[in-house]
Amino acid sequence: MLFRSIINANHSGILVLPIIMTNGWRLNVNGNNREILEVSNGLMGISLEKGTHIITLEYWPPKFFTGLYISLFTLLLLLLFIHRKKYFDL
């Protein structure tokens, strides 16, 4: 999941986002990786200086690739089973 926005900050401060802080988020501000702050009882915050910023937030669930590998392995086993049954069925 990808969110991108252009923010014009009138002064330096913290931008509070209505997104609950969880693992899997990556923050990029003006092309540089930045740390996401936890503010206001678990919400996400971004420290910004005065000026215009391009903010990109990207989310990958922590177990996404584990689930993907298990699904691909299961699909491979299923295809091998179908292939074997088709050619070696008595």
Question: For the segment 3-27, what is each residue's pLDDT rounded down to a tens digit?
Answer: 899 999 999 999 999 999 999 999 9
Q: Give the pLDDT of residue 61.
A: 87
Closest CA to 36 of 56, 60, 11: 56
Q: Is residue 27 within 8 Å of residue 2, measured between CB atoms?
A: no
Token pair, residue 78, equals 């299923």
pLDDT category at 88 given cuts 50, 70, 90 is low
Pick from 29-33, 35-39, 69-73, 79-83: least confident: 79-83
The whole-chain average pLDDT of the chain stands at 90
Q: CA-CA distance, 53 to 33, in Å (whole number)?
A: 13
Q: Does the pTM exceed 0.85?
A: no
